[in-house]
Amino acid sequence: MSQELSKLGSFLASVRQHQKLTLRAVETQTGISNAYLSQLETGKIRSPSPAILRKLSDFYEIPYTSILELAGYPVPEGGKLDTSLTDLAARLGPVTSEEADELADYLKYLRSKQNKRKI
């Protein structure tokens, strides 16, 4: 994944410089610290989270799938992601497998409750 991170970092630095932005300006707009951004651009961050990548893709107006792919994340063929799922993942951040199971159970409960109302 380190070669992908090098590509990602170079790409992000290039986009930022092309838009004539400083690291501090990006920090102000995204809430991502300029130190983290610098480490990301130089390839020192080993695994940037999808939430961080989502913020950067939105800010730079780069397709989310492109930035995920550059970071070494698997992207479905055709590059299409279910945006509701990626938005949810970005909002939640990392979850443990136990938390994921609990979230799935709670969602099933909510859906069954909604289905009962329709009857």
Q: What is the pLDDT of residues 57-83, one digit of tens each?
A: 999 999 988 898 888 888 777 655 556
Please name the residue ranges forming H helices in the chain.
Answer: 2-18, 23-30, 34-41, 50-60, 64-70, 83-92, 97-118
Integer Cα distance of 109 and 87 in angstroms? 21
Integer Cα distance of 119 and 117 in angstroms? 5
Beta-carbon neighbour count of residue 105 at 10 Å?
10
* Higher pLDDT among residues 90 and 57, named by residue: 57
Q: What percent of the chain has pLDDT over 70?
A: 80
pLDDT score at 107: 84
- Say which CATH topology domain 2-118 has: 434 Repressor (Amino-terminal Domain) (1.10.260)
User: Rounded mean pLDDT of the chain?
Assistant: 84
Q: What percent of the chain has pLDDT over 90?
A: 40
* Higher pLDDT among residues 88 and 58, named by residue: 58
